[in-house]
Structure 1
Amino acid sequence: MSGLEATAVAAALGRARAYAPYLRRLAARETAVAAALDAGDIAAALASCDEPLPEGATVAAQLRAEKRRLALAVAVGDLSGAMGLEEVTRRLSRFADDALGRAIEAAIRERTPEAVPAGFVALALGKQGSRELNYSSDIDPILLFDPETLPRRPREEPVEAAVRIARRVVEIMQAIDGDGYVFRIDLRLRPSPEATPLALPVSAAISYYESSALPWERAAFIRARAASGDIALGERFLAEIRPFVWRRALDFGALREIRALSRRIRGHYEAGQRFGLGYDLKRGRGGIREIEFFAQIHQLIHGGRDPALRVPATLDALAALQAAGLIAPGEAAALSEAYRLYRTIEHRLQMVEDQQTHSLPRDPAALDNVARLDDRADGAALLDALRPHVEMVGALYDALDPPEDGRLPQDRDALVAVLGEAGFADAGAIAQRIIGWRGGGARALRSPAAQDALEAVLPHLVAALGRAPDPAVAFNRFDDVVARLPSAINLFRLLEARPSLAALVGDVLSLAPTLADMLGRRPELIDGLIDASALDAPPDVAALARRFGGTGDEDYQSLLDRVRREVGELRFAEGVQIVSGARDPLAVAGGYARIAEGALEALAAATVQAFEQAHGRIPEGELLILALGRFGGAALTHASDLDLVYLFTGDHLAESDGPKPLGATHYFNRLAQRITAALSVPTAAGPLYDIDTRLRPSGHQGLLAVSLDSFARYQREGAWTWEHMALARARVVFGSAAGRAALETIIGDTLAAPRDIPALLADAVKMRGDIARHKPPIGPLDVKLMDGGLIDLEFVVHVTQLRYRAGFDPRLPEAIGALVSAGLLPHRSMAAHDLLTRLLVALRLISPRAEQPSPAARDALVRACGMADWPALLAALEEARQSVRLAWAGIVAQAGER
C-alpha cells in the first residue's frame, strides 16, 4: 500500500472515531484491527479478522468476534476509498454465507453429533443472494430441507427436526449479548410465512412456486442462490423452479405487480418519499429500490429468452441489459452511478450506530455528522450530491408505467387526488387501502385475474362508495368484505357490470353495520340484489313455506343448510329495502315475520316427518307451536328472536306407534327439542334464529312441550298476570286447522275471563318497574326500553285489553285501532306505535346499540320514518313518548288509588 493510501486509511479511521460512535467502540475493543488501520494497513486489518478465540469458545462467540473485526476493517476500507462498493458488499456477503453455514453445521451437530451435516440448505435472497449486502444488513434466507437426508434423532419427524435446527440457527445468528450479534435474520420471504414452519420440505416449496407463488416472488428469485449448508440440495431446488422465475412468454401481469409493489412502498413509506431531510434512500421515489426494480422488470421481460440477463447483482444486471441493447448506455451509466452513490451513503448512515436504517436524518446536525463521516463539508453538500440522481432515477422509473386507460391512477399522489374528488375526506388512508389491494394483501386479490377485475371495477367502486352517505365507513366495510372472500373476481365483475348495484352496496355498507357484517360473512348476498324483485315484499307465508320446503329430493341436513341460506338472502334484502328507502319499516317488519313463519312451517314439518320415521305417531296427537312477543304480533326486526311455546294434543298417557315408541310427553318434548335445533343450531350455512322458550308454562323450569289440557289448566289456575299479558299477542303458527282452533279457543277463553282489576294494575306496575331496574335502555335511542317507549306502550295496550276484555288481536296495530275506536286509548296511540316501531326496525340495522347516529345515518332514519329532517324526527319522537307516558301514568295512578 502506498503512503498516500495509508494516509487515507488513517484519516478514515479518524473520521470513524469522530463521527461514528459504533466504529469508535469497535476500535477501542478490537485493538489489533485498530492498530493495523492506524498504520494504514488494510490488508493486515482484514487478515486479523479470522483470528480464533481461546479454545472452548462457542461458534456463536467466534462468529460475533469475526463480525466485529470485519465491520471495523471494512468500514474504514470503505471510508478511505481503499475498497470499492462491490468489494465491500462482496466481503460482507461472503461472511454472511460462511456464518450461516457454520451456524447450520453447529445446529445439526449439537443434536446429532455423529451425523454428517446434510439435507438442510439456506437459500440467500435479496442483497445476500446478489452478494450486495448492506453494511448493517439483516439477511432474508429461505430454509429448506430434504426429509430423506436430514439428520434427526430417533423417532423424530423430519419437520420437527428441521424446525428445531432452524430455530437454533436463528438463535446463533441473531441473539444479542455483550459481544454483539452476527446477523439479524428475517424468514418472512418463505412461502406463506403466516402458516408454514420455519424450514420447508423441498418438495412442498417446489409445489408452491409451481402453483401458488405471487409475481413479486418471481422477482425475488432473480437474486436467489444456494448460499449455505447443503449447496447441492439448494441448487437442485433452484433448477427445478427455474421455469417459474424465467418464463419465455412476456408476463405483463408480473410486471404490473412489480410496479405495484414499488407504489405500495412509496405509499407505505410516504414520509420518506420527498427528497430532503428524512428522505429514504432505499424506498423513496428515485431511490435504491427503483433502480433495482428498473433492472428486474427488464430482466423479467427478456430473461426467459436470454440467459445472459439472469444476473443477480444490480450493477451487473444494468451492464448486461446495456450489452443486450435493452437500455441505453447513458441510462445504464447514470443508474449505476446513482446506485453506487446511494449505497455508499446508505453505508455511512448504518456505520453511525450499526442500525438497519436507510433514511437521511431529519435533524440537520445529524445529517452534518453523516456528511462529515463521508468526508463532505456538511449536510447541504450531501443533499446537493444526491439530488440530481434522485430526480433522474425517479423520472426513469416513472416512465415505465403504461397509460391508465381510464382506470384509477397508479401513482399515489394522483390516486389521492382522485379519491378526494370522489368524496373521501381522508383520501390518503383510502389510497393506502387500495395500494394494499393492488399488492395482493387479501387472499382474494392474489391472482392476475383478480387484479385485472379489481382495476376494472375500481373507478365504478370508488365513485359509488364516494357518493355513499358515509364514504369512509362504506369503504372500510367493503375492505372487510374483500378480506373474507376466497375469490373476488365474480364480485368485481358483477359490480363493474352494474354500477347502480355498486351504489346500493355503498349505502348498505355505510349505513347498516348489521347488513355489512352479513355481507362480510356471505359476499354472495349481493347476487340476490341483481333482480329488481329483490326490493319487493316477500310473498305470503304459505308461498314461503312451499319454497323453503323444497321438492323433497334433498336430505334433512341439506334442507337445513338451504333454508338458512335462503332466509339469509331474504332477510338481507328486507334490510336493504329499509336502507335504500324502498319500503316502509312497518311493512318490512311484517316481511321479516312472514319469512320467519314460512321457515318455521317448513323446518317443523320436515322435522316432524323425520321424527315420525323413527318413532311413529301419537294416536290423535299432534304438535302445535304458539308464537308470542313480536313474532306473535307478526312484526319482527332484523335482530328479533322467536318466542315459542310448544303444545300437543291427544292423550298424554298414549304411546307412539313407530319402530322406537315413546310416551306422548317424552315424544313431544323430544320433537320440540329437534324443532328448536332445526331453527337455531348453526350449520355450515350459518345461523338462522335464536329461539326463546321461556314464556312456556312454569318458564324454564317447566316441560318444553305440554298438553293442551295442561296449558288450559295452567292459564286458568297458575299463570301470572304477565303471562296473560303475553298471551294477548299469542298466535298459532304451526298445527292442523283443528289443533289451531282448539288452542285459539283456550287463548280466547283465557283472555276473556273476568279478572281482579286492582291486582291486574298492581302486577303490571310492579312488573314494569322490575324491567326498568333490570333492563335499562342500552343507548339514547333505545326506543324499546326508554321511558315512553314501546315496552311502555305494550303495557298500556295489554293492561287495557285485559281490564276491559276488548281489542284482542295479536297484531298491535289492529289491537290499538280497536281500542282507540272503543274510546279506551287516546287517538295518538296509533301514531306513537307506528313511529316507535319504524324507529326500532330501522335502528336494529343502522344503530344496533341505539347510539347517536352519524349524520348520514340520521338522514336514513329520517327517510325511513317519513320525516322532513332530524329535528322533526326528534320532535315527533318526543311527542310519541309523551303520549305513551301520559297513558302509562294514568294506569300507574289508578293502581296507586286502589
Structure 2
Amino acid sequence: MNAAQLQKTLRASQYAEQILNLHTAQLEQDYAIDQFEKSLTTQEMNQRVHQALESITDENAWMRALRILRARLMFRWIWQDANQLISVMALTRELSDFADASIAAAKAFARAPLVAKYGEPIGYNGKTQDLMVIAMGKLGAQELNLSSDIDLIFAFDEQGETNGRKCIDVKQFCILWGQKLIYLLDHITAEGFVFRVDMRLRPWGDGSALAISHAALEKYLSQHGREWERYAWIKARIVEPTKEGEDLLEMTRPFVFRKYVDYSAFEAMREMKAMIEREVQRRNIEDDIKLGAGGIREVEFIVQVFQLIYGGSKLELQDRQCLVSLHHLGEVGLLETEVVAELEDAYLFLRRVEHAIQALNDQQTQSLPAEPDQRNRIVETLGFVDWDSFMQTLDEKRAKVIYQFEHLIKENEPDPLLESFSQLEKRLNDVLDENSKNLVHEFWHGHALKKLPAKAVQRLKAFWPHLIEAILQSDKPQVALVRLMPLVESVMRRTVYLVMLIESKGALQRLVKMATVSPWICEELTHYPVLLDEFLSMDFELPKRKDLEDSLRQQLLRIEIDQVEDQMRVLRLFKKSNVLTVAASDVLAESPLMKVSDALTEIAEVSVNATLHLAYQITAKKHGYPLDADGQRCSLDHNAFAVIGYGKVGGIELGYGSDLDLVFIHYMNEQADTDGLKPISGFEFAMRVAQKFMSLMTTQTLDGRVYEVDTRLRPSGEAGLLVTSLKAFEQYQLKNAWVWEHQALVRARSIAGEQFLREKFEDLRCRVLTQPRDESSVREEVLKMRQKMKDHLGSSKEQKKDGIFHLKQDAGGIVDIEFMAQYAVLAWSGTNADLAHYSDNVRILEDAAKAGRLSSDDASALIHAYLRERAESHRLALANHNMQVSAAEWFDTREVVCNLWQRLIDPTATFALESE
C-alpha cells in the first residue's frame, strides 16, 4: 500500500486502524486491484455483495460475511476520502449502492425460510406479492454518509393469503419478512453491524404495523398525511424497483407535489422552519454541522421548501438529490445563480466535514469533537493549518447558509403602501352604493361567519384588506366587489385559498380584473372553487394540444376502469379548468379570436377522445370485443368507432358556452357477437358505447357536465338510431338526406375514434358535398331554411323597433355569413372540389375567392364581418349577456353582409336600419 496515503488514512480514522488490524490480508488484496483510486459502479458494487455472500446458507455465516465486506469497503472509502481520491457525491452514491445491494441480499435471504414455512404470499389479484422496500431520507436520495442509518418503509401491493400448509395473511407474511430483513442488517455481532435501520417514518410511526398495503398507504396519505410527511416523501425511492413499486411511488406524488404552485405549504414550512430555529436554540447545538445553524439540514430545507411549493408545476424540481434540485432552482429562476453556487459550496464542504467526523470512530454523529487529538485529525484530513483556520472557513460557509435560511419564506411583513383597515373601509364606502354597502355589512354580520372556526375568521380578516386594496385599484370597484363576494363566501371555509391569494398579490389583482370583465368566470370559480388552483398558478398561455392530451391521460390512468364517478369528476374538472385558462388568456393576454376558438375546440376534442376511449373500454370489459365489418377483431387500438363533430366544434369555432353537435358512426359487424363472457351483438355493442359516452359526458354531477351534447343531426334526427354504421350513413346521405342536412355536413369533421374510419368518413363527406347541384335549387333551399331560423330565433318586430340586433340570428348576423359559406360549398364544389375541403367558414370563404367564385374584396369583407361578430359573441358570453346588441352600432357591418346576401342568395332582400 502507498505509505503516505496509508498514514493519512490512519490519522483520519481510528476506526480504520481497527479494520486494518483485523483484515490486513483482505485489505491488501482489495488494494492490489485498483489502489483505491477508482470509483465502483452500481454493477460492481452488486457483484461484490453477491460474491461475498455466494453459496452461504447459514444465517450467522451470512451475517458475518456481509459485516466483513462492510468493514473492507469502509476502509476503502475512508482512504479515498482522506486522500481526496473521490468526490463527495461519488462517495455518497457508492455508500447508497452498497446499502441497496445489502437490502436486496437480506430481502432475498429472509424470504426463503418464510416461504418454506407458510408458502408464497398471494394477493387477491392472484399475483405473488413482493415486499416493497421504500428508501427514505438520505438513502432515498442516494446521499448516504459514512455512518448513516437507513430510513425504510415496508409496503406490499395487495392483501391476500399464503398458499402453504400453515396459512397466514400477506400483511403478516410481509411483517415477518421485514423483521428478518432488519435483523440481518441491524443486529450487532462480533463483527459489528451493516446498517442501523430506522422505521419511524412509516404511517403512524412507532407502534404501528411494520408493513402496509398500497391501498392502506394511499388512504393514510390522503386522510392523515401531514406536512412534514410530504417533506419526507420527497426523497422516497423504491429499492429494487418493480412495476407495483413504481405504481405505489407514483400514487404518492400528488400527496407530495400539489398540481399547482402550493401556496398552502408556505405556512406549514414557516412552522417547520420556526421549529428548527427553536430546536437549535434550545439544544445549544452550534457544534452540530448537520442540525446546527447554517448546517446541512438548513441547506436541504431551503431546497425542499421550494420543491414542495413549486414541484407540482415545475416537474424538474421533483428530483430527490439535493444538489440536482438546487441547480434546477437556479435554472428556473427561483434562486439566483450566486446563491446556488454559495449553497452548493457550503453543502459540499459540510458533507466533507461530516465524513471526517464520522470516519474517526464509525459513529453516527455530526458534532465537532472537543478533544484536541480528534480535532487535529480532522484538521489534517481536511487540509487546514490549524483548528482556528478551519473554524473560520466553516463559520463563513455556515453564515451564508444562515442568511438564506433566515430570509426563506419569511412572514409577510405589513406592506407600508397598504393603508390602515379603517382608511381602506372609508375609501371603499365612498365608491359603493347602498346595496353594495349592505352586502358587505351582511357578510361580516351574517350567520355563515359566526359558524366559522376561529382560525378561518383570522385568515379571512387577514385577507380582507388585501382584497379591498386590489378592488380599489380596479377601474370598476363596485362591479368587482359585487361579483367577488359570492366567491369569498364559497371559499372562506377552505382558507387555503385565502392564503394563496394573500401570498400571491399578482394572482389577486388578476382575479379582480377578471371579475370586472367576466361574471361568468366568477360564477365558475364560485361554484367550483377547486378551479382556483388552476387560476392562481396559470401562466395565461393558451394550452397546447399535446399538453392537454398528456394531462388528461395521466389523470385517468390513476383511476380504475370501474370507478365511473372519479372518471366523471376528472373529465369535468379537466374541461372547466382548461376553458378557464383560455378565458383568462383571452381577457388578460388578449389572445387572438381564432387561437381562442382553436384552443376551446381542442379542449373539446381531447375530452371527446378520452370519453370515447373510456366508454369503449368499459363496454368491452363487460362484453368483450366485436368484429369489424371486414371480420377483424376490434380492440382498444382498433375500435371501429368514430365521433363526427358538427356545427361549432366541426367548424373549429367553439365559444365558451357552446354545446357539442355530435354524430356517432361505426364499422362493426352488427350481427356477429362479441367475444366476452356476456356476449352481445356488434350492433348492441356500438349502441352501448354511444350510450356510455353520453352518460359520461352529460350526466349532471356536483361538478356539472362535461358538455351538453346534441345528437339530432344524425340520420333521421331524433327518430333515428343513436349510432349508425358507415354504410347506412352513406346510403342516407346519398339517397335520403335533405339539403339542410348537406348544409350541416359542410361543417362536419371527424374528431375522435378509429383513424381509418375517420378517413372513410372524410372521403364520404367530400363525395356527398361535391355532387353536381342546381344552383337555383340550392339557393331556394338555403333561403327557405334561413327564413325559418329568422322567424323562430331572430328578434321580434318590437325588439327591432327598439333598436335591438340579434348578433347571431338577425339579418346581417353570424348565421347569414355561415349560410353563405355553406351555399358556396353546395352550389360550387361540384366543379371546384377544393371548396369541400375545410369545415370552417373563414377558410371556405378564402377558398371561394381562390376559385374565383367570390371577389377577394367580398371574401375579405365577409371574413372581417364574421370575425368581428364572433369576437363580440365571445365577449358577451364572458359577460353572461345574450346575443342582443344595439343595432345602430352594427349598421356598417350588417350592411356589408346584407348586400352580399342580396347578391348571392336573395336578390329581393333589402336592408335598411330604419325599417327595423
Relative to the length of structure 1, the TM-score reads 0.49
With normalisation by structure 2, the TM-score equals 0.48
